[in-house]
Amino acid sequence: MNSDLDLLHPYPFEKLAALKAGCQPPAELEHIALSIGEPKHEPPAFVLRLLSENLGRLANYPATKGLPELRSTIAQWAGKRFSLAKPLDAETQVLPVNGTREALFAFAQAVINRDAPRPLVVSPNPFYQIYEGAAFLAGARPHFLNCTADNQFIPDFSAVPEAVWRDCQLLYLCTPGNPTGAVISCEQFQTLIELAERYDFVIASDECYSELYRDENSPPPGLLQAASAMGRDNFERCVVFHSLSKRSNLPGLRSGFVAGDARILQKFLTYRTYHGCAMPVPAQLASMAAWSDEDHVLANRDAYRAKFDAVLGILDNCLDVSAPQAGFYLWPRLSMPGEEFARRLFAEKNVTVLPGAYLSRECDGLNPGEHYVRMALVATESECIEAAKRIRDFVSAHGL
């Protein structure tokens, strides 16, 4: 067996199941899960209709590179959404993928040079655990950059030692951030692009929450947008990852895309051809429809805004928490370890939240998630309101 498999940590939800084991929450309270970021809003009906109307296309082998029409649709969407001065080349700068999770993991396997003496994969901390697992199984070591309230949950890239940048082969970013919702600015992106040029590493920007934001006048910028503003229309060393899971409430469609540096994507396509991960044709056709429509995305944002406003109104003066810039998570700071809070909340109120320590690692003597929990406002508005009331009562009862 691959010995690197032994380096993998249990997934956060395995840890959560173990934490909850033995608890017997009140039977009269229906369980409310705020722990997993699985959208529960209705998928667009026109997408489901297209999917069902094209099931006969399951008789066709799909191409790993995807349908030209889908790549063209994605290129048009990205160019408009991120104000790209030069449109993406749909032939060389876009690849459909089966959701960003699969692509984020596979990307490291294609990018990392195992022959280098000390290959590093750098990522924020807290982080999406796929980044860490991808690093280990690509033969690299993860290096974490703490995200705390003191740095507005964006890594202090200026404080990263030069030795780290020299050994870095791949930098994962997540913006808007999971779990904090923090957004990297164009100026910060551009600083990283210059660092990537100086030290020759690749930037992988996970932007799967980019379409869930509170201010309609301030959509989160993206890595390609920052590169385009610098005149880097070849997007050298820059690759972005986008998904329909959150944007269009289609997590089960497993549909997303990667875009950016054509040289890197050519190698990534070679890897994916052997990987055997082509998107089924009905899913590609349904995806084209989803990327072509913004009305359902606007309605989706409105629904999340309503839930945030309602929940934060209940938790005001109860928890140290505020609305994120984007995404659908709350990241409250607690007066006790997140594990203890999560276990007791489940046991007493039958509400499940995810301890922040399960999304982070100790680094420089600090686990930046230890006194936090992640709350995903993905359930119905009424369920989110009920969960907030139970959390408020739990906090009040224990003087927290």
User: Which tens digits make up the pLDDT trace of 176-193?
Assistant: 999 999 999 999 999 999
Q: 69 and 203, same structural domain?
A: yes
48 within some domain: no
In angstroms, the CA 127 to CA 118 distance is 21
Please state whether beta strands 373-376 and 329-330 pair in parallel, antiparallel, or not at all (unpaired). antiparallel
Are 303 and 328 contacting, i.e. CB atoms less than 8 angstroms apart? no
Please state the length of the chain. 400
Q: Which amino acid is at 235?
A: F
In angstroms, the CA 184 to CA 60 distance is 41
pLDDT of residue 400: 78
pLDDT in tens, 122-179: 999 999 999 999 999 999 999 999 999 999 999 999 999 999 999 999 999 999 999 9
- Cα distance from N-terminal residue to C-terminal residue, the chain: 47
Q: Which residues of the chain have pLDDT under 50?
A: none
Q: 361 and 391, same structural domain?
A: yes
In angstroms, the CA 126 to CA 146 distance is 7
360 within some domain: yes
216 within some domain: yes
- For residue 176, say if its preceding peptide bond is cis, omega within 30 degrees of 0: yes
pLDDT of residue 104: 98
Q: Three-state DSSP class for 172?
A: strand
pLDDT of residue 331: 98
pLDDT of residue 179: 97
> Which residue spans within the chain are E strands per DSSP?
32-33, 94-97, 120-125, 141-146, 168-174, 202-206, 238-243, 256-260, 329-330, 351-352, 354-355, 373-376
CATH number, residue 81: 3.40.640.10
pLDDT of residue 399: 81
Residue-wise DSSP of 375-393: EETTS-HHHHHHHHHHHHH
Q: Structurally, how many domains does the chain consist of? A: 2
In angstroms, the CA 190 to CA 306 distance is 34
CATH number, residue 348: 3.90.1150.10
Are 260 and 224 contacting, i.e. CB atoms less than 8 angstroms apart? yes
pLDDT of residue 374: 98
pLDDT in tens, 84-120: 999 999 999 999 999 999 999 999 999 999 999 999 9
CA distances from 312 to 28, 41, 323, 384 (A): 25, 20, 7, 10
Domain that holds residue 362: 3-42+296-397
286 within some domain: yes
Q: 38 and 70, same structural domain?
A: no
In angstroms, the CA 208 to CA 175 distance is 8
Q: 279 and 314, same structural domain?
A: no
Q: Three-state DSSP class for 125?
A: strand
The CA R_g of the chain, rounded to the nearest whole Å, is 21
Q: 169 and 147, same structural domain?
A: yes
In angstroms, the CA 78 to CA 238 distance is 14
In angstroms, the CA 244 to CA 73 distance is 13
Show which of 294, 326, 354 is a domain's final residue.
Answer: 294
